[in-house]
Chains A and B, each alone.
Chain A
Amino acid sequence: MMWLIFALAFWAGAWALNAALARSRWRDTRVVRIAVPVLFGVTLLVLWEGMVRGLGVSPVILPAPSVVAQTFAASTETLWEDFRQTVLKGALTGFAIGASAALLTSVAIDRSAFLTRGLLPIGNFVAALPIIGIAPILVSWFGFDWQSKAAVVVVMVFFPILVNTVQGLRETDAMQRDLMRTYAAGYWHTLLKLRLPAAMPFIFNGLKIATTLALIGAIVAEYFGSPTRGMGFRISTGVGSLSIDLVWAEIAVAALAGTAFYSLVALAERAVTFWHPSQRRR
């Protein structure tokens, strides 16, 4: 009971502090901008811990964050092995292949207005489909190891990046194209100096969507068969054998990996498209 009351009190206090910070005159400083969401996150964790302890929830149902943290620390070796198998081999390889293929395809089909008009609606449609369902097929084609996971990721990331890139390559305005014509610039000059840079915000939009899809694809594909390592493997066997704390540790790894991957792409975006109005600092 004490725990429950403490958690609720912490929550109320943190919220009041956040509200005060958001109204204070430092509200636009970097520190406050980071402190407020961090405090909110900590509050959620404290609430979770308090609920589990206060209500005496069985660790087989929902372990407390502190228990998950202990398991995390105790099984770093397993977690690292799974991370390498699923994220580094499956997701990142697939992401790299899929993204390069999508970029090259976009540039290739972009030369033909006919192809573009034909592929764009289809690409848009396919990007909205539950492509994840092909995982079992690709696992049966490419085997249990990471290659089949990478294949699933390739297919999943291909269409969102393709659609965004093709769209972006068409984003230049008539005046910018005319300017290149007054220089008698050829196809490659126009592509490299005008159209690709102008398309970058769109390309990064596709890449950011693809980061999440890549991890989802790599994990789900493991539910359909994998060697005895990998995050998806560990989660599905962990649920079966009631080692729920390890499952939550894997979830934490997945969350960290997903956030880190996304942040990396977002950082690259910031560096490349610093000129875009949405990225300029005030």
Chain B
Amino acid sequence: MRAALPVLTVLAAILLLWYLAVAPMNIRGALDLAERSGRAVTPETPLARQDVSVWRLMAQNPGQIAAAYELDRPRLPTPQQVGGELWKTTGEMALRGRAMSKRSLIYHAAVTLRSTLWGFVLGTALGILGAVAIVYSRVVDMSLMPWAIISQTIPIVALAPMIIVLSSQLGIEGRGVPKAIIAAYLCYFPVLVGMVKGLRAPAPSQLDLLQTYSASGLQVFLKLRLPSSVPYLFTSLKIGIAASLVGTIVGELPTGAISGLGARILIGDQFGTPLAIWAALLAAALMAGALVTLLDLLQRITLKRMGMQA
């Protein structure tokens, strides 16, 4: 409770600011609409209004401020509108048994989730394998590690359209694969770095102890290095899954994809339906939160089982 109060207060403040910002953001749209439906507004034409500040407009047309909160295509929707849109495209459709229709966000979220998880699995596997290779081989460490760092300074989005073109040219059907590749590209690095740290975490004295038992390399790996890397692994997995989701959405954005949350954002932009964009964004945020929380839970349970955390 002590921890929740500040968070809730800050959240409430953010919501309040959001609500307050809606009126100035949308007043012009509201006035245009009112003018078209024949109501009196000052100044009378959009052209004349262009040079007047939003604050003046609000002061001169107090009657229209309420309308700013109910536009169909607002520049900034209210939290309520976003929540409403999200419900309309998820819960309500599910209730009508159309959860997997192409107009349902549940369907699009599932598409995004699938690529995210594939990318996550692929990236994690690459990261762990890379880390083992780096820890055990000096050549790999020296040649690969600098490039792993450089690979992350390359803006993947520049590559994203190419990866999609390439994979379609190579005859790979569907958009899931290239998205998963982009997701894996963003996901593998935190896992690699975390695992390298984790596998190198055992102190020399701990390694020496196993030496005195003349343990084999595999035994050292299984009994010491791997267990000590688990806390590091989970911390990186949480970063990795978030990165994986970012990668998937980036993969959906620039390429004319038609399904997935990123595609909803793209389509919302092309058809000028901001509410759809906001709802998709909220869905993506909820998904990120859920995935990270899930891994956090898994981390707690595992570490408790392993006796590493009270």
Contact = CB atoms under 8 A, between A and B. Distances in A.
A–B direct touch in complex (beta carbons closer than 8 A)? yes
B254 A236 contact: yes
B249 A121 contact: no
Interface in A241-272: 244, 247-248, 250-251, 254-255, 258-259, 261-262
Nearest to A117: B6
Nearest to A58: B169
A212 B75 contact: no
Contacts of B1: none
A108 interface: no
Interface stretch (A18-26, A175-183, A189-197): A18-26
Interface string B275-295: 001101100110011001000
Given A18-B142, A132-B253, A220-B157, A251 B152 contact: no
B241 to A, nearest CB: 9
Given A128-B292, A133-B262, A236 B147 contact: no
Interface in A102-151: 114-119, 121-122, 125, 128-130, 132-137, 139-141
B146 interface: yes
Interface string B251-289: 001100000011001101100001001101100110011
B9 interface: yes
B203 to A, nearest CB: 16
A56 to B, nearest CB: 14
A103 B136 CA distance: 40
A138 to B, nearest CB: 11
Contacts of A259: 150, 153-154
B246 interface: yes
Interface string B142-173: 11111101101111111101100110011000
B14 to A, nearest CB: 8
A15 to B, nearest CB: 8
Contacts of B253: 132-133, 135, 220, 223
A240 B105 CA distance: 29
Interface stretch (A31-39, A46-54, A165-173): A31-39
Given A132-B253, A140-B75, A248 B288 contact: no
Interface centre among B154, B170, B262, B280 (most CB of A within 10 A): B154
B245 interface: yes
Contact of A140 (B11, B242, B261, B269): B269
Interface of B: 3, 6-11, 14, 75, 138-139, 141-147, 149-150, 152-159, 161-162, 165-166, 169-170, 238-239, 242, 245-246, 249-250, 253-254, 261-262, 265-266, 268-269, 274, 277-278, 280-281, 284-285, 288-289, 292
Given A37-B144, A133-B277, 13 more contacts: A22-B143, A32-B142, A40-B144, A61-B170, A115-B6, A121-B7, A130-B246, A133-B249, A134-B281, A136-B277, A212-B153, A220-B253, A248-B162
Closest CB pairs A-B (n = 4):
A118-B6, A118-B10, A40-B143, A136-B269
9 contacts: A21-B142, A41-B147, A130-B285, A137-B278, A140-B274, A239-B165, A251-B158, A255-B154, A259-B154
